[in-house]
Amino acid sequence: MSAVIIAPHSHCEDFTIRDCDRRAKQAADILYEILQSKGINVTRINHEVLRSDSDLNRLPARHSVTRRALWQAISANQPTYLLELHSFPRDDFGGSKITILNLPENTKAARQLAEGIDEIRLSTGSYANDIQYQYLDWPGVIPFLIEVNEDRQKMTDAELVVLMHKIANRLFPIRGGGQTAIFYASILVCVCLLILVIYVGIDNLKQASQNIQT
Ligand SMILES: [Zn+2]
């Protein structure tokens, strides 16, 4: 399983008005670095498209240069997680730290991703989110739309890193190879001990019967 990361509203030019998702690039960069450090095959789709010029998350942008690059990355790396990062003003989505917007088709996957991570809230997405909509039914693609709170009083940078680690670990859990080896080694030790106990027991019995005979 690989991963493709895109933050469609992350390009910002004017910080006096909110013309972009202000923390989406930070979240996408963190997640990208975490997945790279785990040895995951991860592709980051970069762009410099202002949402006001072209909303990359809407149907009219489906054939744009950026969306084509996304399509190529997904096609070349299946099976893959499509990780779409956004950010929201402090009180949206119930003031949560992170919200995953899911559609009925991927509710189960979203629940599995969020399970046990208290800081993640689930909310219903919209079919207008065209990146999610385009890849909902694609075999070999599991799409997630992840929204992070932009307010650092609601979620500090350190918390964001921790939560991105939790998401990365849920997507790519450590396989049980080491545990399996320990399991089989434990069984081997138990069998050896059992043979030893039986051997010593038989030997003791023999000696006892010899003592009785003599
Ligand atoms: Zn957005």
pLDDT digit string, tens, across residues 89-111: 999 999 999 999 999 999 999 99
pLDDT over threshold 90, residue 66: yes
The stretch 178-188 carries a mean pLDDT of 56
**What's the pLDDT score for residue 39?**
96
175 Cα: distance to centroid of ligand 1 (angstroms): 33
Q: What is the pLDDT of residues 14-32, one digit of tens each?
A: 778 888 999 999 999 999 9
pLDDT over threshold 80, residue 74: yes
Q: Which residue has the higher pLDDT, 53 or 209?
A: 53
**What's the pLDDT score for residue 174?**
75
38 Cα: distance to centroid of ligand 1 (angstroms): 27
Q: Which helix (H) or strand (E) holds 133?
A: helix 130-135
How far is 122 from 98, CA to CA, in rounded Å? 9
Residue pair 95/154 in contact by the 8 Å Cβ criterion? yes
96 Cα: distance to centroid of ligand 1 (angstroms): 15
- C-alpha distances (whole Å) from 18 to each of 10, 75, 180 are 11, 33, 51
Q: Which of 8, 5, 2 is CA-nearest to residue 130?
A: 8
Domain boundaries, the chain: 2-175, 177-214
Judge if the upstream peptide bond of residue 79 is cis by omega within 30 degrees of 0. yes
Q: What is the pLDDT of residues 121-178, one digit of tens each?
A: 999 999 999 999 999 999 999 999 999 999 999 999 999 999 999 999 999 987 654 4
Residue pair 183/122 in contact by the 8 Å Cβ criterion? no
8 Cα: distance to centroid of ligand 1 (angstroms): 7
190 Cα: distance to centroid of ligand 1 (angstroms): 57
141 Cα: distance to centroid of ligand 1 (angstroms): 21
The stretch 188-214 carries a mean pLDDT of 66
The stretch 54-68 carries a mean pLDDT of 97
5 Cα: distance to centroid of ligand 1 (angstroms): 14
Confidence of residue 182 (pLDDT cuts 50, 70, 90): low
**What's the pLDDT score for residue 186?**
64
Query: CB count, 10 Å around CB of 69?
Result: 16
Q: Which residue has the higher pLDDT, 22 or 197?
A: 22
Residue pair 22/87 in contact by the 8 Å Cβ criterion? yes
**What's the pLDDT score for residue 60?**
97
Q: Looking at the domain covering 2-175, what would its CATH class be?
A: alpha beta
**What's the pLDDT score for residue 5?**
98
**What's the pLDDT score for residue 197?**
67
197 Cα: distance to centroid of ligand 1 (angstroms): 67
179 Cα: distance to centroid of ligand 1 (angstroms): 41
76 Cα: distance to centroid of ligand 1 (angstroms): 25
**What's the pLDDT score for residue 177?**
47
pTM for the model stands at 0.80
Q: Which of 105, 85, 59, 61 is CA-nearest to residue 3?
A: 85
- C-alpha distances (whole Å) from 120 to each of 11, 27, 62, 74, 106 are 24, 14, 29, 26, 16
Residue pair 84/144 in contact by the 8 Å Cβ criterion? yes
